[in-house]
C-alpha cells in the first residue's frame, strides 16, 4: 500500500471533530492530537520551521532547491471533521478493484452502500475505494487533503532532483464550524498565493464561492391568558412565521442549485413570549447578496411597524465573501492548476462552490487561494468515501503545480 494511503488511514482514525457549541480555540482540544502527529512527521521529513501554535495551526516550510526566483506557494488543508456525524472510532476499509455492486458497510447493522441510492459509485468501477463501517463519517474531508500534501512533501524530500521554489504547508482547525482562519497568521505564512486541498471529485478546481452572512433575529411577544388575549397578546411564534413567509419560498436551499442564492432558516426556537431565528444567507453575486441582506432587514422593519418598535431585532453579520473577486486578478493560479491536471492526464472541471472554503477568508487576508480536489465524496456522511486512485492523482497535481512554477 502506498505511503499516501497509509497516511490517510492513520489520520482518519484520530477523532478531530469540531464543535459549533464550543467557544474555545480550537473548538475541541482533540484536534491537537492530529496536529502534534503531523508536527512530528513533518520534522521527520526534514521540513523547517515546523510549529503548532496555541490555536492548533500547524505550519512548516520546505526550502527552495533552486537559485532562480520562484513564487512562494502554500498548500492548506484542515484538521477537523464535521460535527454532523461522529468522527470517533472510525474504521476505514479499502475495497480493491470495486466491481460496481452494493457495498455492505456493516453486516451486523445491515448498513448498505448501494449504487441505486448513490449513482456516483458507478463511476468508480475498477478503482480502490476507502469506506467506513457505516457508523461514522470517514474524514476524507479533509484528511485526504492532509495526506495528499504530506505525500507530496515526502516525494519532494526523497527526490531532490525535482526542482522547486519555497513551499509552505498549513493544517488548520475548525474549518467545519466556520472559524478556520480566525487565528491564522497570513502575514507570517507569507506566501504569494496558496491552494486549499479540500475539494471533492477528481479534476475539480474551485475559485468561486458564495458570499455568506448570518442573520440572528429575536422576536419579543406578549403572553396573556388566551381567554382574555384579544387585542393584547403578541405571539412571537406567529410573528416569526410571518417573517419567514415574507421571504421567497423558491429561494430556499432545497429549491436552488448552481449559482442560485438562498435564505436558509437554520435554527428556530421559542414560545409565545420570545422566539429566536437564525438564517444563513448565501449568494455568489455580491449585488444580489446585499439585496438579500436588505430584504430580511426590511421584513423586520415592517413587522416593527405592525407590532410596535422593538418587537423584532435583526442583526446581520457577514461571514465570508466570494473568493473570485481576489482570484480574477491572478488567474494564473487557476490556469497553472488546469495545466498541471492536463499534464497528469486529468480533465479539469471548474465548479462554483455552493459554500465556502478557508480560501474564501484567506484570499481576503492577502493570499489568493483557490481550491483543489481531494477525491472524497459524500462528505459529512456515514456514506463518505474516497477514491484511492483520485487521491494519488491529487498528489500528482500538487507536485506538478510546484514543478511548473519552478520551471
Catalytic positions, please? 80, 175
CB-CB neighbours of 182 under 10 Å: 13
CA distance 19 to 278: 18
Q: Count CA within 13 A, CB hemisphere, residue 121.
A: 22
Dihedral of the CA atoms 333, 213, 137, 350 (nearest 10)? -30
Q: What φ, ψ does residue 168 adopt, rounded to 5°?
A: -120, 145
Tell me the β-bridge partners of 168: 61, 74
Q: Which residues contact 79 (CB under 8 A, 6 or more apart)?
A: 16, 26, 31, 34, 35, 56, 58, 142, 146, 171, 172, 173
| Helix count and strand count (H, E) for the chain | 10, 18
Q: Which three cell numbers stand for residue 288?
A: 444580489
Nearest partner of 399 among 377, 381, 372, judged by Cα? 372
CA distance 363 to 208: 11
CA distance 396 to 390: 10
CB 376 within 8 A of CB 200: yes
Q: Is 127 helix (H, G, I), strand (E, B) or coil?
A: coil
> Which DSSP string do the residues of 235-271 spell out, in sequence order?
-HHHHHHHHHHHS-GGGSGGG--TT--EEEEEEEEE-
SS (H, E, C) 27-59: CCCCHHHHHHHHHHHHHHHCCEEEEECCCCCEE
Q: What φ, ψ does residue 180 adopt, rounded to 5°?
A: -65, -30
Q: What φ, ψ does residue 15 adopt, rounded to 5°?
A: -70, 120
Amino acid at each position: 500500500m502506498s505511503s499516501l494511503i497509509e497516511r490517510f488511514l492513520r489520520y482518519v482514525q484520530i477523532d478531530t471533530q469540531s464543535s459549533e457549541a464550543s467557544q474555545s480555540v480550537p473548538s475541541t482540544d482533540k484536534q491537537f492530537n492530529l496536529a502534534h502527529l503531523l508536527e512530528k512527521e513533518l520534522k521527520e521529513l526534514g521540513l523547517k520551521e515546523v510549529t503548532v501554535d496555541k490555536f492548533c495551526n500547524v505550519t512548516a516550510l520546505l526550502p527552495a532547491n533552486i537559485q532562480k526566483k520562484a513564487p512562494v506557494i502554500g498548500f492548506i488543508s484542515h484538521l477537523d471533521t464535521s460535527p454532523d456525524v461522529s468522527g470517533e472510532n472510525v474504521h476505514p476499509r479499502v475495497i480493491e478493484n470495486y466491481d460496481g455492486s452494493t457495498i455492505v458497510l456493516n453486516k451486523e447493522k445491515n448498513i448498505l452502500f448501494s449504487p441505486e441510492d448513490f449513482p456516483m459509485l458507478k463511476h468508480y468501477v475498477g478503482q480502490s475505494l476507502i469506506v467506513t463501517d457505516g457508523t461514522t463519517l470517514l474524514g476524507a474531508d479533509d484528511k485526504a487533503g492532509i495526506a495528499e500534501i504530506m505525500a507530496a512533501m515526502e516525494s519532494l524530500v526523497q527526490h531532490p532532483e525535482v526542482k522547486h521554489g519555497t513551499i509552505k504547508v498549513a493544517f488548520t482547525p475548525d474549518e467545519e464550524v466556520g472559524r478556520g482562519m480566525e487565528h491564522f497568521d497570513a502575514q507570517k505564512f507569507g506566501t504569494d498565493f496558496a491552494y486549499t486541498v479540500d475539494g471533492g471529485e477528481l479534476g475539480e478546481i474551485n475559485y468561486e464561492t458564495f458570499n455568506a452572512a448570518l442573520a440572528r433575529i429575536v422576536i419579543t411577544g406578549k403572553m396573556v391568558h388566551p381567554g382574555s388575549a384579544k387585542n393584547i397578546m403578541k405571539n412571537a411564534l406567529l410573528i416569526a412565521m410571518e417573517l419567514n413567509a415574507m421571504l421567497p419560498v423558491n429561494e430556499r436551499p432545497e429549491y436552488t442549485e448552481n449559482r442560485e442564492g438562498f435564505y436558509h432558516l437554520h435554527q428556530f426556537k421559542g414560545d409565545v413570549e420570545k422566539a429566536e431565528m437564525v438564517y444563513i444567507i448565501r449568494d455568489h453575486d455580491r449585488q444580489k447578496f446585499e439585496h438579500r441582506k436588505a430584504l430580511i432587514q426590511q421584513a423586520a422593519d415592517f413587522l416593527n411597524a405592525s407590532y410596535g418598535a422593538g418587537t423584532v431585532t435583526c442583526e446581520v453579520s457577514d461571514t465570508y465573501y466570494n473568493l473570485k473577486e481576489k482570484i480574477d486578478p491572478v488567474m494564473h493560479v487557476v490556469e497553472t492548476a488546469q495545466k498541471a491536471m492536463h499534464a497528469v492526464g486529468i480533465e479539469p472541471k471548474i465548479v462554483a462552490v455552493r459554500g465556502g472554503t478557508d480560501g474564501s477568508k484567506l484570499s481576503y487576508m492577502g493570499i489568493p487561494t483557490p481550491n483543489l480536489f481531494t477525491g472524497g465524496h459524500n462528505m459529512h456522511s456515514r456514506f463518505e468515501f474516497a477514491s484511492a486512485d483520485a487521491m494519488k492523482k491529487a498528489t500528482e497535481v500538487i507536485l506538478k503545480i510546484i514543478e511548473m512554477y519552478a520551471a
